[in-house]
Amino acid sequence: MKLYLAAAFSRQAEMKRVAEELTDCGFEITSRWLTNTPGVIKGKRNRMEDAFMDVEDLRRADILVRFSDDLNKVSIPARLGSGARMFEFGMAWERGMPIVVVGGRQNIFDSLPNVTHVADLKELFEYLGELS
């Protein structure tokens, strides 16, 4: 089963570890953004190429797994502001792809049908284990 992991880019190192654990369990991770070099300022053309790469990677996946952000504060830190993972979520939902949200509802669209919620990584692994 192929999974696309969607999370804030600032969580790249954490998501790499999650991807390794999922790979060890037999899942294929299609998210090439996990290997992008963090902190590199890119020109507009490269950012567009990265966006198309993410779209291609999502299309190759069977399931989108999106990781929620900590929204306990009044305002979110800038590192969470890009919202690319929300675009990916919308694209996956429109395609009828199963979606799993890890960590809680973050916006109104998390209440749509075809969206499964799990509290944490332990529940994610249990849920995915039931599917395979």
What does each of the 132 residues of the chain score in pLDDT, given as a tens digit?
A: 999 999 988 889 999 999 999 999 999 999 999 987 755 555 555 778 888 999 999 999 999 999 998 766 655 555 555 678 999 999 999 999 999 999 989 889 999 998 999 999 999 999 999 987
Beta bridge pairs of residue 101: 66, 117
Domain ranges of the chain: 2-131
pTM attached to this predicted model: 0.87
For 2-131, CATH number? Answer: 3.40.50.450
Q: Give CA angle at 96 (95, 97), nearest 5°.
A: 90
